[in-house]
Structure 1
């Protein structure tokens, strides 16, 4: 007999419907799963056999064929356990005809334990969102209830396979099956880190304010202890709040990676700070079964790379695509997936391997060759994608000992929000969300140069060898500074301020 159960799968960050077709025929007892299943799906056979038997049902001793359609798309994840088990029960006529008919109205997702209980699976949120148009009621594990609530799709949460069968047979009501969800108490919020705690470094604070206002990338270079990491960790506190669309997009990525935790909907911009020993795949995403990497987990948030020059050259070079396009495309022989990766890069590095190059007190112990090798890990094309570069000097004792505090994060954030509101009105009819992401057409429309600016930029381009991309970066950043000043047009002083944040254009990486 043949049975059909609807379930879901993931491609990129979007879900798609999968039809689980189960056929039971006379022959040698086997259970074959076809339709491009990966290792997780192939292993489901053993879990399904044990779960069916331990739930009080008979496992058919016949030839069982399970087809996952559409067969040309790769299937991964553990959510296929429950629909396969349910299909076997329906095809073996262990469910009544009325119960089997109800299956057509369900979208079934869930991993099975050997005792038949349901365990959580990854990617429930994007699968429910994408499959809402099917008009089906979802069946999800109790641990995935938060994602079900965010999706807005109707769902039930049975605890076991036997419980779900009882609901289909009419022996249990929907209220009996559905989890009585009690929201967990919110965890005590982490104490906010404030910019007022950072002594001195006015230039770096200004650079980060500009970065937050326009979504620009920043590189901080300085001796150890000058406050690079301290500043970076306070950067999320001045960023604008997430929009509902941005929040949902981030939540879908974290759902796929099974990193939701107790969160119903992620409402804070992510801050990712991977160690410099991270592999290329972990940073950019990929693997035999493609998964999002750190750049995608930082989507709509911050990617902080401390000890920037200590990352491998190959790891740094893979950043060029997401920094330019805001997406990561991973191609394999049988599929190509794309993940969003629109983040603000905050990078920090020492001037040399020992960290004391240019220190007036502690001498540098690195040879010229070591210093050049250290700096050459950061290529010119990568530096070209960084909008703001700032050199941090050691904090003076007079600054450290000041009794009065500097500006708070709240004060800086207020200016950032005003600048973002200007940009929101400016780009309300386009997909652009901030100045850093302007297209060439938008740069031409919104970055009109003041009188005398042409000569300044032409001289800079000729003298420092600026690329066309560098000039675009300068104009975008100047537009952000003008927004912070509340000016309708870019002024000469805005361009002059931008130039002080581009020392590498004047020196080159070998001279920093």
Structure 2
């Protein structure tokens, strides 16, 4: 879903569960860059001086994974003299992975909020003002607590509750409000580790599904400035790209309860359109909205029955 719709993703789970591996594989299932996107990415990488030798044009989605000690300037851009591209621009049209996300400084994480909304970053220095592209797919990875062993039962974790709360609150509410998909990654069991659980889908198979879903979205959004569901403004989602009648009942109820914000509703609609694209549906129904709500809020939802069903 993250690759098909360009939705930001939070992976939460214990160490060794595969969060980093999943993030590193994500760029491989993104579609190849279009000609215009290749020119944009190549220009940024050329300015930063990291264009690979013998590769005059970047054709694959970039992947950038800064260390958690990275400064705000290294993330959003800056430096002495003329500002240089930061990690958000180096990940333009690709994946920005923040491993151990709660270990990043609060100022650095909050600086991501503006480019997440606008798709660009403006850096002002004495030598000039630079506007850099920064439309990326953000993936956050976080342990449940400082030691990483916190579970619902609390077995094996020695972190005090106050320390766990402080650790989890390092990812601010406004930043998490911009994350569409929140996934709990389960520990790897012995059968999976030894290959007894059967092989999953190959990268090529998943990439093919992503490509088909993106083609459906691009066809629907033809004639607009947007190409993926994550880029569509909320006003368009509520007035022109309408879901099935009655599909928003659960989302509206969550808004009344304060579980969902207005921005959250727009993001639920974007994810629901991606779910519908992946299953080749013309528009989202109540089950697609339920999936999007569960991924955003973490609250398990039963799949609604169609009208007239027993």
Q: Same fold by TM-score, threshold 0.5 exceeded?
A: yes
1:254 alignment partner in structure 2: 45
- More strand by proportion, 1 or 2? 1
2:283 alignment partner in structure 1: 489
- Residue 69 of structure 2 aligns to a residue whose secondary structure is coil
2:146 alignment partner in structure 1: 353
Provide Cα deviations, 1:347-398, integer angstroms capped at 9, x if missing partner. Answer: 1100011101117685112112211221121111000000000011112323
Residues in 1 aligned to 2:154 and 2:226: alpha-carbon distance in whole angstroms: 47
RMSD (Å) for aligned C-alpha atoms: 1.8
Aligned residues: 297
Residues in 2 aligned to 1:448 and 1:344: alpha-carbon distance in whole angstroms: 25
Cα deviation, residue 440, structure 1: 2.9
- Residue 295 of structure 2 aligns to a residue whose secondary structure is coil
**Higher Rg of the two aligned structures:** 1
Match among 211, 215, 237 for residue 417 of structure 1:
211
Normalised by the length of structure 2, the TM-score is 0.91
Cα deviation, residue 308, structure 1: 0.7
Maintained 8 Å contact 1:290/1:337: yes
- Residue 162 of structure 2 aligns to a residue whose secondary structure is helix
Residues in 1 aligned to 2:44 and 2:299: alpha-carbon distance in whole angstroms: 36
Residues in 1 aligned to 2:132 and 2:154: alpha-carbon distance in whole angstroms: 47
1:365 counterpart = 2:158:
yes
1:239 alignment partner in structure 2: 30
1:444 counterpart = 2:238:
yes
Provide Cα deviations, 1:21-41, integer angstroms capped at 9, x if missing partner. Answer: xxxxxxxxxxxxxxxxxxxxx
Match among 59, 67, 77 for residue 267 of structure 1:
59
Maintained 8 Å contact 1:447/1:490: no
Change (3 A) 1:258 1:490: same
1:211 counterpart = 2:5:
no
Maintained 8 Å contact 2:248/2:289: no
2:306 alignment partner in structure 1: none
Match among 477, 488, 499 for residue 293 of structure 2:
499
Match among 293, 296, 306 for residue 99 of structure 2:
306
Change (3 A) 1:418 1:363: same
Maintained 8 Å contact 1:223/1:359: no
1:377 counterpart = 2:182:
no
Residues in 2 aligned to 1:396 and 1:447: alpha-carbon distance in whole angstroms: 42
Match among 398, 413, 426 for residue 220 of structure 2:
426
Normalised by the length of structure 1, the TM-score is 0.56
Where in structure 2 are the equivalents of 1:33-432 lying within 5 Å? 210-262=1-53, 263-288=55-80, 289-333=82-126, 335-358=128-151, 363-401=156-194, 402=196, 404-432=198-226
Cα deviation, residue 233, structure 1: 1.0
Cα deviation, residue 342, structure 1: 0.1
1:461 alignment partner in structure 2: 255
1:140 alignment partner in structure 2: none
Cα deviation, residue 503, structure 1: 3.1
Maintained 8 Å contact 2:251/2:260: no
1:156 alignment partner in structure 2: none
Change (3 A) 1:377 1:505: farther
Residues in 2 aligned to 1:292 and 1:415: alpha-carbon distance in whole angstroms: 33
Cα deviation, residue 228, structure 1: 0.5
Provide Cα deviations, 1:113-148, integer angstroms capped at 9, x if missing partner. Answer: xxxxxxxxxxxxxxxxxxxxxxxxxxxxxxxxxxxx
Provide Cα deviations, 1:307-337, integer angstroms capped at 9, x if missing partner. Answer: 0111111110000011111000112356322
Structure with the larger RCO, 1 or 2 (CA within 8 Å, 6+ apart): 2
Q: Give unpaired runs (5+ residues) of structure 2.
A: 301-310
Residues in 2 aligned to 1:301 and 1:228: alpha-carbon distance in whole angstroms: 18
Residues in 1 aligned to 2:177 and 2:40: alpha-carbon distance in whole angstroms: 28
